[in-house]
Structure 1
Amino acid sequence: MKTTMKAMVAAVATTLMAGSALAGDVNKIGLAVPNLQADFFNQIKLGVEAYAGEKGIEVIVVDAKNDTATQVNQVQDLITQGIDAFIYIPAGAAAAAVPTRLARAEGIPVINVDRTPEGAPGDTFIAGESVESAYQVCNHIIGLAEGKGKMAIIHGQKGTTPEVDRFAGCKRAIDENPGIELVTQQWSQMWSPDEGFSIAQNMLQAHPDIKLIFGQADGLAMGAAKAVDVAGLSDTVIIGGYDGDVAALEYLAKCEGPFIVTATQSTQLMGRLAVDSAIKVAAGEEVPERQIPNAVLTTCDDAPKFVKQHP
């Protein structure tokens, strides 16, 4: 299946409107993830590998380390290795459509997970429901603040599907509470605890009377919690997160500290759905355009059960 880049580009132009995959068996799946340092993507990987293993399917995993150019090169390499299906989580908004187009040019089923590239959708899109569950997280922390106070948002990577959707949900909760003032917001690149810590430190220095922080991922929320602790504000600041990462669930299960709520996504289920969808598309079966498992609002009361068994 090796092709020159010139031939590949030409193929993209001529096959984009030709439909999805060629019917056939799936023996090898390529899984492209943005960053395996993030527990969220690791949980999806575990779901893909476990279910594919049950089916006797080989999985080749590539980690872009949040670099879109690297991811494009990795996907080109996956195609030369003869993958029968492609499970794709874009590393960012820029150039996100390229891997989908390259795979489609070879007749390979494309299953988008968590993020969908604008203008180049796959055969199905699998993601947690971000808008309503982000609304629930923000509504929960706003309720604990009795609907009053200054609020900050630490965004994920700008322009990605979850960043956009989670802001939309949280903003709705803010707009419903006129006593809440969104005083500052900043975007991260890697959704990481280190970024959450440094961003929250800067926010607290500029606005020491912040009462609420929404981190659009648990890594960001965990970093913000550390910054709040360092500032000696753990008794006055309330933090909400998102994803249900293992470390965050363990933190919440202790029922202490400023980080008090998240939305737990069914990450391993998403991995299994991706493999199942790849098999069906390759066999010429219909799959839903969107498959959206609900995230579950999770406080310290609920966290222990998810620590024991992540969905």
Structure 2
Amino acid sequence: MQDLTVRGTKILLINPTDSDAVGNAVKMANQANIPVITLDRQATKGEVVSHIASDNVLGGKIAGDYIAKKAGEGAKVIELQGIAGTSAARERGEGFQQAVAAHKFNVLASQPADFDRTKGLNVMQNLLTAHPDVQAVFAQNDEMALGALRALQTAGKSDVMVVGFDGTPDGEKAVNDGKLAATIAQLPDQIGAKGVETADKVLKGEKVQAKYPVDLKLVVKQ
């Protein structure tokens, strides 16, 4: 990052893997008067001119609405949450809670599994012991969904529907194989294209929005 600030960089587009860790890099760019655009995940420190990401709140609601469509109003559900404090986990959870309220779900448990497949498996195994009557699982990403799926398969609970989020290759394959009920697919090509378009506007001195939401797609077995 220090190298970039002395190279005459005009603008930075950052796709953070960690919202907290990237903060210092953003602050460094701020000090060098280099505008920063974040993609997909926000930075918790520093100032950015624009943030471009999937509409995670809407995605969480779409997932919940689909569960209601298949499992019914008042369904008994479990939510596997991502890493606490990340914008993705917070927003996807917020959208899912909108669906919970709208469809009067009975939320048996909401626990973090840190966007990790192995943790998704372990957390789901523990929750199944306490809540064997679960009807549906919403996992805030496909990795946790696939872990939860493995736990359900091991327990012989093939009737429990699992909905993931991201539309990863593994997630979409599991949907097409009839294992995952659905995944909410992000459209990274659109995020990238919007990022470049926004950077171009900033460099030309044009006004840009503080946030650009990008569409999502519900992926179910065809």
Q: Same fold (TM over 0.5)?
A: yes
2:156 & 2:212 partners in 1: Cα distance? 43
2:184 & 2:110 partners in 1: Cα distance? 20
Q: How many angstroms does 1:96 deviate by?
A: 4.8
Q: Give the match's secondary structure for 1:117.
A: coil
Decide which of 175, 195, 212 is 2:101's aligned counterpart: 175
Change (3 A) 1:82 1:229: farther
Q: How many angstroms does 1:204 deviate by?
A: 1.1
The answer to whether structure 1 residue 242 and structure 2 residue 189 are counterparts is no
Q: What are structure 1's unaligned runs of at least 5 residues?
A: 1-74, 302-311
Q: Which residue of structure 1 aligns with residue 51 of structure 2?
A: 125
1:139 & 1:125 partners in 2: Cα distance? 27
Residues matched between the structures, number? 222
2:213 & 2:106 partners in 1: Cα distance? 31
The answer to whether structure 1 residue 300 and structure 2 residue 221 are counterparts is yes
1:208 & 1:175 partners in 2: Cα distance? 23
Q: Give the match's secondary structure for 2:165.
A: coil
Q: How many angstroms does 1:272 deviate by?
A: 2.2
The letter of the residue matching 2:126 is N
2:18 & 2:73 partners in 1: Cα distance? 34
**Structure 1 segments of 4 or more deviating over 6 A?**
none
1:8-67 deviation digits (Å, cap 9, x = unpaired): xxxxxxxxxxxxxxxxxxxxxxxxxxxxxxxxxxxxxxxxxxxxxxxxxxxxxxxxxxxx
2:19 & 2:198 partners in 1: Cα distance? 24
Q: How many angstroms does 1:95 deviate by?
A: 5.1
Q: Which residue of structure 1 aligns with residue 182 of structure 2?
A: 261
Q: What are structure 2's unaligned runs of at least 5 residues?
A: none
Change (3 A) 1:253 1:287: same
1:227 & 1:182 partners in 2: Cα distance? 19
Decide which of 206, 209, 215 is 1:288's aligned counterpart: 209
Q: Give the match's secondary structure for 1:241.
A: strand
1:200 & 1:79 partners in 2: Cα distance? 45
Q: Which residue of structure 2 aligns with residue 154 of structure 1?
A: 80
Decide which of 39, 58, 64 is 1:138's aligned counterpart: 64
Change (3 A) 1:248 1:95: closer
TM-score by length of 1: 0.66
* CA RMSD of superposed structures (Å): 2.0
Q: Which residue of structure 2 aligns with residue 184 of structure 1?
A: 109
2:23 & 2:78 partners in 1: Cα distance? 32
2:31 & 2:144 partners in 1: Cα distance? 37
Q: How many angstroms does 1:81 deviate by?
A: 5.6
Q: How many angstroms does 1:117 deviate by?
A: 2.7
Percent identity, aligned pairs only?
27
Give yes or no for contact 2:121–2:151 (8 Å, CA) kept in 1: yes
Give yes or no for contact 2:57–2:94 (8 Å, CA) kept in 1: yes
